Structure 1
Amino acid sequence: MENYTTEEIKNMSEEEIVSTISKLKKTLLDFRVKQATRQSFKPHLIRSYKKQIARIMTIKHTNLIHS
């Protein structure tokens, strides 16, 4: 998992932000499937991915307002 700093996110283009969000959401879906089928996974990563998505979407929204 790649943790993005706020500076890295602010420097991303709109397309990069959208693709990053979609990748993180797909990974989160994979974790939910593993959880439902009782496969092994690291449950703390779910919270981490959710926070990453929220962080990126917040900065995206802020950029949209200030543009």
Structure 2
Amino acid sequence: MPTTTSVEELKTQIKRLNSKAGQMKMDLHDLAEGLPTDYETLIEVATATYEIFREIHDLKQQLKQQEQAK
């Protein structure tokens, strides 16, 4: 059975990553609006943004599983 601490830790990680992801999403949006300027960084910024949202998704799935196991 998962501990309350692990659930709380997941919630904290998700909250922290959501904040960072929001900024990355805005950075990607700004970059896209400015195209073709700085197009060289588009793949790098998009990949980093994708990865953080994937990580958030994975953590939310873990959290859901732990909360259902209670």
Structure number, greater radius of gyration:
2
Root-mean-square deviation (CA, aligned residues, Å) is 2.3
Is 1:22 the equivalent of 2:15?
Answer: yes
Q: Which of 44, 50, 53 is the matching residue for 1:50? A: 53
Question: Unaligned stretches of 5+ in structure 2?
Answer: 32-37
Identity %: 10
1:65 aligned to which of 61, 64, 68: 68
Q: Give the superposition deviation at 1:18.
A: 0.9
Unpaired runs of 5+ residues, structure 1, are 1-9
Q: State the Cα distance separating 1:15 from its structure 2 match.
A: 1.8
Structure-1-length-normalised TM-score: 0.68
Separation (CA, whole Å) in 2 of partners of 1:18 and 1:60: 7
TM-score by length of 2: 0.66
The more displaced of 12-21 and 33-42 is: 33-42
Verify the 8 A CA contact 2:28 2:49 in the aligned structure 1: no
The structure with the greater share of residues assigned to helix is 2
- Cα separation, 2, equivalents of 1:62 and 1:44: 27
